[in-house]
Amino acid sequence: MILEPFFTGDSYDTPDDAPRALADRLVLGSRAYFAARIIGEVVRCRSLALKGLYDRKAWAESSLRIVRLIESVGGRFHMRGLDRVRACRPPVVIIGNHMSTLETFVLPSLIATHMEVTFVVKESLVSHPIFGPVMRSRNPIAVTRENPREDFETVMTKGKELLAKGASIIVFPQSTRSVEFVPSEFNSMGIKLARASRVPVLPVAVKTDFWGNGKYLKDLGPIDRSKPIYIAFGELFTVAGTGKEEHQRTIEFIVNHLREWGGKIKDTP
């Protein structure tokens, strides 16, 4: 399936004059409008998935609607290295830090128009009554986050199968999403998968604390309009030897960008 890309340049910045939704203004800066629209989009996608109609094109389009929604409530994107995504000859393993729900909603609009792609996700999302049908339609790799050895075997086994069929895989090697990046907790699972499957790695760094974690509903946390949203893709590279150098290279790419963006980093190597 050939899709037209939504973003055609190497970079994208939300226009300064991007309109703010009237409904968002009327709720006086609360997250009510944003949360309602997110829920509505998820329900819509779920309905399509249950009918077998939520394909890659529908996924990319729903992701773009989330981008525009975020901009309509005051979010400002700054994306770089988009030409590196277009230059990929899939399959590739895309490895990045995981800060919030935002990147899982937004990355498909940048990647899925160029290639078949899926995520490594928590098993609970695949079985979730609301998110489950949507996630299952994307044929993700589901892990428990409880048994690292079993999770590693799952990723390596299904990951190799998907990559062999031409699908790219997005891996967030942290145990959980976090505003603070801790290099020592960033495992090398993605690098090992790329090495074993002999496919390139595309690193991505994000700073997405615009969308916080909720106290009771983690995926519907508060939004902070004062925080710009940053996404940057690095140069594609292949994995040689044990992959140790490439793993460190990925960490350094993320750390350097977070420093530039004013992100939080702990135990920098």
CATH classification at residue 241: 3.40.1130
**pLDDT (tens digit, 9 = 90+) per residue, 41-54?**
999 999 999 999 99
Query: What is the pLDDT at residue 30?
Result: 87
CA–CA gap between residue 132 and residue 130 (Å, rounded): 6
Element (H, E) at 15: none
Classify residue 1: in a domain, yes or no: no
Classify residue 6: in a domain, yes or no: no
Under 8 Å between Cβ of 58 and 166: no
Under 8 Å between Cβ of 159 and 166: no
Query: What is the pLDDT at residue 10?
Result: 97
Classify residue 2: in a domain, yes or no: no
Count of CA atoms in the C-beta half-sphere (13 A) of 35: 15
Classify residue 46: in a domain, yes or no: yes
Classify residue 97: in a domain, yes or no: yes
Query: What is the pLDDT at residue 216?
Result: 62
What is the domain count for the chain? Answer: 1
Closest CA to 125 of 133, 117, 116, 115: 133
Q: What is the pTM of this model?
A: 0.95
- At 157, phi and psi to the nearest 5? -70, -55
Classify residue 4: in a domain, yes or no: no
The residue segments making up the domain with residue 204 are 12-265
Classify residue 80: in a domain, yes or no: yes
Number of H helices, E strands in the chain: 10, 10
Classify residue 5: in a domain, yes or no: no
Query: What is the pLDDT at residue 163?
Result: 98
